[in-house]
């Protein structure tokens, strides 16, 4: 429906309250002019009708944590996420190699934690797929990778760089830490601006296809493969993308962000690493003998950055997964801005292993958390990666969504795409079906993470996040109602259409 004034009829979930419903909604000039229950009032009988039948309407879904460039690149490189065994990995890559015509064959989403072999491929195994071109495989968490023999040279990784795994003096192909960062950065540098813009378009259309109308896009040089000037590149094309983009420049350069006129800074500014790579900073050692992880910044560095960014009026987002990193984020925020953190809506990304004292401090200071429920879907529960890395007790305490909400900490939901699919319905599904039942969210709270919660994070709560008079007519049409279907089938609900400000979004056309 592309007229300026029309009436939507359907199962409208306003998301103002758990039972908030409407049967019709009048859209005028991209905004909601009125809505109500029961039949459409007679005075609106002249307005064109968008009758959605049994379709369910929710506010446009809103993903508060997306690495948009890498997310789009996953659509341009080989996806090995569906492999069930190492043989599957090799078969998928051999298949891609047969028709490959580029300089380096890249694959993504390799996840040994989901394979029975539980190991990485070797450089020799990648060489066996093809020696005609270098082959480079990224681990799903983005914190390590594997290079074929020729890829090591092609990506300029010196064999004595820290993080090159050696066996009997020869590289196995596995790259971690600095060696991984160099290879990933070099791999990214080979991309042209046209390829980057295409990646942004692909990611935006993928989002639209799942009803996600707004993404917080974390972009900039702290992601391997992103460059400093990708922030400007994205700002330049953001108006042409299928969905709305809220740009989070990943940099410590406060002056540059102020000069760009942006009101926010950060994203995955890494205070620590990840559980899967054994690099998140824990209070107690990992259960599988990997030490405690480490903090990547000193308190002085972080407090100085917070003080400067906060002083210039910027909202700040930093990545902290383990308890020690969360402690550091809280401690440095308290030193830099005290309880003023709340007005600035400073955010901690992931915040996966908070204690109750962390949560009460976060509430007191007004620090909010952007969580990734799909992590639990992939890695939570008995026998999963969290249990192997953290042990059964800490596994049960990871991502305590219900406890976090109950303690008054503001939450938003994010996919961390490329790490998990850019799919808020999967995120909602994962929060409702979280392996530990005592931390599962109601459907209302789970949808709120990806609607009103995320809108608050980007200071958009007056125009987005719920369907109310005066707000944008930005909504998704779903084939089924997540409040009504069995919780186990929320992830397979279709997003049949997405509207932003009253206009339907075309998720199909090629860039
Ligand atoms: Zn992160």
Centre of ligand 1 from the C-alpha of residue 132, in Å: 35
164 lies in the same domain as 309: no
Centre of ligand 1 from the C-alpha of residue 22, in Å: 37
Centre of ligand 1 from the C-alpha of residue 101, in Å: 32
Q: Which of 21-30, 184-193, 481-490 has the lowest mean pLDDT?
A: 184-193
Centre of ligand 1 from the C-alpha of residue 374, in Å: 14
Q: How confident is the model at residue 509 (pLDDT cuts 50, 70, 90)?
A: low
Q: Are 250 and 218 in contact (CB under 8 A)?
A: yes
Q: What is the dihedral of CA 51, 55, 58, 59, to 10 degrees?
A: -40
182 lies in the same domain as 81: yes
What pLDDT score was predicted for residue 338?
87
Instruction: Give mean pLDDT, residues 320-338.
Output: 97
Residue 348 has pLDDT above 90, yes or no: yes
Q: Would residue 383 count as lying in a domain?
A: yes
Centre of ligand 1 from the C-alpha of residue 348, in Å: 9
Centre of ligand 1 from the C-alpha of residue 412, in Å: 14
Centre of ligand 1 from the C-alpha of residue 419, in Å: 9
- Dump the DSSP string for 316-328: EEEEE-SHHHHHH
Centre of ligand 1 from the C-alpha of residue 66, in Å: 9
Q: Would residue 489 count as lying in a domain?
A: yes
Centre of ligand 1 from the C-alpha of residue 270, in Å: 7
**Using CA atoms, how far apart are residues 224 and 190, in angstroms rounded to an integer?**
12
**Considering the chain, what percentage of its residues have pLDDT values greater than 90?**
88
CATH code of residue 505: 2.30.40.10
Centre of ligand 1 from the C-alpha of residue 326, in Å: 13
Q: Would residue 462 count as lying in a domain?
A: no
422 lies in the same domain as 478: no
52 lies in the same domain as 80: no
Q: How confident is the model at residue 290 (pLDDT cuts 50, 70, 90)?
A: confident
Give the per-residue SS3 of 108-129. Answer: EEECHHHCCCCCCCCHHHHHHH
**Which residue in 503, 484, 425 sits closest to 21, CA to CA?**
484
Centre of ligand 1 from the C-alpha of residue 216, in Å: 13
Centre of ligand 1 from the C-alpha of residue 258, in Å: 23
Centre of ligand 1 from the C-alpha of residue 259, in Å: 25
Task: Report pLDDT digits (tens) over 116-152.
Answer: 999 999 999 999 999 999 999 999 888 899 999 999 9
Q: Would residue 457 count as lying in a domain?
A: no
Asked which of 141, 173, 189 is the last residue of a domain, the reply is: 189
Centre of ligand 1 from the C-alpha of residue 349, in Å: 6
45 lies in the same domain as 121: no
Residue 504 has pLDDT above 90, yes or no: yes
Centre of ligand 1 from the C-alpha of residue 372, in Å: 10
Centre of ligand 1 from the C-alpha of residue 185, in Å: 17
24 lies in the same domain as 129: no
271 lies in the same domain as 351: yes
Residue 71: count other Cβ atoms within 10 Å of its Cβ.
27
Asked which of 132, 160, 189 is the last residue of a domain, the reply is: 189
Centre of ligand 1 from the C-alpha of residue 493, in Å: 27
Structure tokens at 116: 């029975």
Asked which of 152, 174, 189 is the last residue of a domain, the reply is: 189
Centre of ligand 1 from the C-alpha of residue 428, in Å: 19
With vertex at residue 347, the alpha carbon angle to CA 19 and CA 389, rounded to the nearest 5 degrees, is 95
Q: Would residue 490 count as lying in a domain?
A: yes
Instruction: Give mean pLDDT, residues 322-349.
Output: 94
Instruction: Give mean pLDDT, residues 346-369.
Output: 97
Centre of ligand 1 from the C-alpha of residue 211, in Å: 23
Q: How confident is the model at residue 1 (pLDDT cuts 50, 70, 90)?
A: low
Centre of ligand 1 from the C-alpha of residue 317, in Å: 10
Task: Report pLDDT digits (tens) over 17-43.
Answer: 999 999 999 999 999 999 999 999 999
Cis bond before residue 492 (omega within 30° of 0) = no
Task: Report pLDDT digits (tens) over 426-468.
Answer: 999 999 999 999 999 999 999 999 999 999 999 999 999 999 9
Instruction: Give mean pLDDT, residues 331-352.
Output: 93
Centre of ligand 1 from the C-alpha of residue 281, in Å: 13
Instruction: Give mean pLDDT, residues 200-224.
Output: 94
169 lies in the same domain as 265: no
158 lies in the same domain as 53: no
Instruction: Give mean pLDDT, residues 175-190.
Output: 90
Instruction: Tell me what the pLDDT averaged over the chain comes to.
Output: 95
Centre of ligand 1 from the C-alpha of residue 138, in Å: 16
Q: Would residue 367 count as lying in a domain?
A: yes
Instruction: Give mean pLDDT, residues 147-159.
Output: 94
Residue 472 has pLDDT above 90, yes or no: yes
389 lies in the same domain as 508: no
340 lies in the same domain as 403: yes
Q: How confident is the model at residue 511 (pLDDT cuts 50, 70, 90)?
A: very low
Instruction: Give mean pLDDT, residues 242-259.
Output: 97
* 58 or 290, greater pLDDT: 58
What pLDDT score was predicted for residue 202?
96
Give the per-residue SS3 of 166-185. Answer: EECCEEEEEEEHHHHHHHHH
**Considering the chain, what percentage of its residues have pLDDT values greater than 70?**
99
* 177 or 44, greater pLDDT: 44
Centre of ligand 1 from the C-alpha of residue 115, in Å: 23
Centre of ligand 1 from the C-alpha of residue 225, in Å: 15
What pLDDT score was predicted for residue 2?
60
Q: Domain of 383?
A: 257-436
Centre of ligand 1 from the C-alpha of residue 443, in Å: 25
For residue 370, list its beta bridge partners.
349, 412
What pLDDT score was predicted for residue 13?
98
Express the helix, strand and coil content of the chain in percent, nearest 5 each: 35, 25, 40
Residue 71 has pLDDT above 60, yes or no: yes
345 lies in the same domain as 381: yes
**Using CA atoms, how far apart are residues 208 and 425, in angstroms rounded to an integer?**
12
Centre of ligand 1 from the C-alpha of residue 319, in Å: 5
Q: Is 144 helix (H, G, I), strand (E, B) or coil?
A: strand
Centre of ligand 1 from the C-alpha of residue 341, in Å: 20
Centre of ligand 1 from the C-alpha of residue 368, in Å: 15
Centre of ligand 1 from the C-alpha of residue 274, in Å: 8
What pLDDT score was predicted for residue 340?
82
Task: Report pLDDT digits (tens) over 362-417.
Answer: 999 999 999 999 999 999 999 999 999 999 999 999 999 999 999 999 999 999 99
CATH code of residue 417: 3.20.20.140
* 131 or 225, greater pLDDT: 131
Centre of ligand 1 from the C-alpha of residue 499, in Å: 29
Centre of ligand 1 from the C-alpha of residue 170, in Å: 32
**Using CA atoms, how far apart are residues 33 and 417, in angstroms rounded to an integer?**
34
**Using CA atoms, how far apart are residues 325 and 293, in angstroms rounded to an integer?**
10
CATH code of residue 141: 3.10.310.70
Q: Which of 95-99, 185-189, 199-203 has the lowest mean pLDDT?
A: 185-189
Q: Would residue 390 count as lying in a domain?
A: yes
Q: Would residue 282 count as lying in a domain?
A: yes
Domain tally for the chain? Answer: 3
Q: How confident is the model at residue 289 (pLDDT cuts 50, 70, 90)?
A: confident
């Amino acid at each position: 429906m592309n007229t300026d004034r029309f009436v939507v009829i359907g199962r409208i979930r306003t998301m103002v309250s758990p039972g908030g419903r409407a049967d019709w909604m009048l859209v005028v000039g991209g905004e909601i002019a009125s809505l109500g229950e029961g039949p459409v009032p007679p005075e609106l009988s002249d307005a064109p009708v968008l009758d959605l039948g049994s379709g369910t309407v929710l506010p446009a879904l809103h993903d508060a944590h997306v690495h948009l460039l890498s997310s789009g690149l996953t659509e341009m490189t080989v996806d090995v996420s569906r492999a069930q065994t190492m043989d599957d990995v090799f078969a998928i890559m051999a298949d891609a190699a047969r028709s490959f015509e580029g300089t380096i064959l890249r694959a993504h989403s390799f996840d040994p934690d989901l394979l029975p072999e539980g190991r990485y491929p070797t450089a020799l195994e990648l060489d066996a797929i093809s020696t005609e071109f270098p082959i480079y495989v990224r681990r799903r968490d983005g914190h390590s990778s594997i290079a074929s023999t020729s890829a090591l040279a092609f990506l300029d990784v010196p064999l004595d760089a820290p993080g090159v795994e050696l066996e009997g003096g020869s590289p196995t192909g596995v790259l971690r830490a600095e060696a991984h960062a160099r290879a990933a950065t070099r791999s990214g540098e080979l991309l042209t601006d046209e390829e980057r813009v295409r990646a942004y378009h692909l990611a935006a259309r993928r989002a639209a296809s799942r009803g996600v109308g707004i993404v917080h896009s974390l972009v900039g040089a702290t992601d391997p493969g992103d460059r400093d000037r990708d922030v400007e590149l994205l700002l330049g094309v953001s108006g042409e993308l299928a969905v709305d983009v809220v740009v989070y420049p990943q940099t410590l350069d406060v002056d540059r962000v102020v000069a760009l006129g942006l009101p926010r800074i950060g994203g995955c500014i890494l205070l620590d690493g990840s559980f899967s790579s054994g690099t998140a900073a824990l209070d107690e050692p990992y259960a599988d003998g990997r030490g405690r992880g480490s903090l990547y910044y000193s308190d002085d560095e972080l407090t100085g950055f917070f003080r400067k960014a906060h002083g210039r009026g910027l909202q700040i987002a930093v990545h902290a997964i383990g308890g020690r990193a969360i402690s550091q984020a809280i401690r440095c925020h308290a030193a830099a801005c005290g309880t003023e953190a709340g007005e600035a809506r400073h955010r901690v990304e992931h915040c996966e292993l908070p204690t109750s004292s962390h949560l009460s401090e976060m509430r007191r200071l007004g620090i909010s958390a952007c969580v990734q429920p799909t992590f639990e879907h992939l890695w939570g529960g008995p026998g999963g990666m969290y249990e192997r890395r953290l042990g059964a007790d800490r596994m049960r305490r990871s991502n305590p969504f219900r406890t976090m909400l109950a303690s008054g900490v503001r939450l938003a939901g994010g996919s961390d795409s490329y790490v998990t699919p850019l799919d808020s319905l999967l995120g909602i599904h994962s929060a409702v079906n979280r392996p530990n039942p005592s931390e599962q969210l109601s459907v209302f709270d789970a949808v709120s993470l990806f609607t009103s919660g995320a809108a608050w994070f980007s200071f958009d709560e007056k125009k987005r996040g719920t369907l109310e008079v005066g707000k944008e007519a930005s909504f998704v049409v779903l084939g089924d109602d997540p409040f009504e279907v069995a919780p186990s089938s929320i992830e397979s609900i279709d997003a049949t259409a997405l509207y932003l400000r009253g206009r339907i979004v075309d998720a199909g056309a090629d860039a």
